[in-house]
Amino acid sequence: MKRISKITGIVLISSLLWFCSGDDDTTNPGTGEPVEATKTLVETLSVPWELIWGPDNFLWVTERNGKISRINPDSGEQQLVYTIPNVSQVGESGLLGMVLHPNFDTNPYVYVVYTYNGGSGLLERLVQFTYANNTLSNETVLIDQIPANSNHDGSRLLITPDMHLFMTTGDAGNTNLSQDMNSLGGKTLRLNLDGSIPADNPFTNSYIYSLGHRNAQGLVLHPNGKLYSSEHGPSSDDEINIIQSGKNYGWPAVKGKIDTPNEQTFAANTEVIESIFEWTPTIAPSDLVYYTSNRIPEWTNKLLMTVLKDQRIIALTLNGDGTAITNEEVFLNGQFGRLRDIAISPQGRVFIATNGNSYGDTSNTHRIIEINKIEK
């Protein structure tokens, strides 16, 4: 596949201006010493999956073994908040996505997704907890018995300004589920924060917002109002998609663009939305965020995506109306191993969660690292 150029002249000029400007972000406000390009906050985690900046100005992290912790972003002090007792961690399953209520001070709710043993196999559920006194309680199940497996479980969570909760689900290794409207597998789901189905969802009495997905692990709402996702392909066509209400993204009949006879036959009978960017061979994309700060100017106004297999951050530039990606830039290539997740503070501080150097690494040596600047 043809690649887009990695570095543009605009990025080089902005980088030079930033390093020469004496910006306060390049020095430690306490000592005046230069800030390290990277800083390891925690290095004893077991497969961190979700990393978010909380409204309490702490980092919140899930580990696939069921642990939820808060991390002081300055000292790295880690506080275990709760361990979900019935999480089943098999392969890629376990405790996955998490999001906090936007009005956390008055509504201290924590939403998480985890897999559990359903008797005849793995299942997945979306739940709400209440946070108080540095622990969680009052587990409330919002959606249960979502198909799960040792791989392809999703699951990224996002709360939009209009207080709807979006959730990505995987096909649980059963490709038929993605086109099955009676299954929640291989979909993007949309619900109210109390677990009810929004009246304006595209399919009557259904959580399903979009279908035809394989395993989306990144989800971000851009300031332009578009909802972007990153999705794992099989051996080809990892994707970036724009998620739209009621639309079909083609899996398993369509991978990436509609460019083979079989894909064209399927699309002739089913309206399919094509991805806006693809990677072949696959790179294993994970979290997706939009960076608006000038703190790291190389990333300003770009989609940032963490990558597992190819062990990097990719910065993606959108065109003016957000319908296409015009540039791809690679950063931190191979420096920290597999990169699972990324969190951004309101001040533009960047934190990443690592997942070891190889697939299946479940050791307690995974890290949370702060990226302060890009070294050339």
Domain boundaries, the chain: 9-371
Closest by CA position to 302, among listed 320, 287, 323, 318: 318
Question: Looking at residue 34, what is its pLDDT?
Answer: 67
Question: Looking at residue 32, what is its pLDDT?
Answer: 54
Cα–Cα distance measured from residue 141 to residue 96, given in angstroms and rounded to the nearest whole number: 15
- The helix or strand, by DSSP H or E, that contains position 278, with its residue range, turns out to be strand 277-279
Cα–Cα distance measured from residue 353 to residue 48, given in angstroms and rounded to the nearest whole number: 6
Residues 6+ apart with CB under 8 A from 323: 242, 276
Residues facing 53 on adjacent strands = 59
Sign of the torsion angle spanned by Cα atoms 112, 353, 14, 310 = negative
Cα–Cα distance measured from residue 90 to residue 362, given in angstroms and rounded to the nearest whole number: 11
- Is-contact 370 350, C-beta < 8 A? yes
- In terms of CATH, what superfamily is 9-371? TolB, C-terminal domain (2.120.10.30)
Question: Looking at residue 364, what is its pLDDT?
Answer: 84
pLDDT, averaged per 10 consecutive residues of the chain (376 residues), comes to 36 34 46 77 95 97 98 97 97 97 97 96 98 97 98 97 98 98 98 98 98 98 97 97 98 97 95 97 98 97 98 98 98 96 97 93 91 88
Cα–Cα distance measured from residue 175 to residue 194, given in angstroms and rounded to the nearest whole number: 30
- Is-contact 78 139, C-beta < 8 A? no
Residue with tokens 């990606």: 325
Question: Looking at residue 20, what is its pLDDT?
Answer: 35
Question: Looking at residue 365, what is its pLDDT?
Answer: 86
Give the CA distances from residue 274 to residues 18, 213, 254, in Å, rounded to whole numbers and listed in that order. Answer: 38, 11, 8
Residues 6+ apart with CB under 8 A from 208: 181, 184, 187, 188, 189, 201, 202
| 2 DSSP 8-state letter | P
Question: Which DSSP string do the residues of 330-350 spell out, in sequence order?
Answer: EESTTTSS-EEEEEE-TT--E
Q: Which two tokens stand for residue 25?
A: 């972000």
Q: How long is the chain?
A: 376
Q: Which two tokens stand for residue 87?
A: 């999480």
Give the CA distances from residue 173 to residues 13, 118, 148, 176, 257, in Å, rounded to whole numbers and listed in that order. Answer: 46, 16, 8, 9, 22
Question: Looking at residue 1, what is its pLDDT?
Answer: 39
Residues 6+ apart with CB under 8 A from 145: 118, 123, 125
Do the strands 157-159 and 302-307 form a parallel or antiparallel pair, or are they unpaired?
unpaired
Closest by CA position to 49, among listed 155, 150, 161, 143: 155
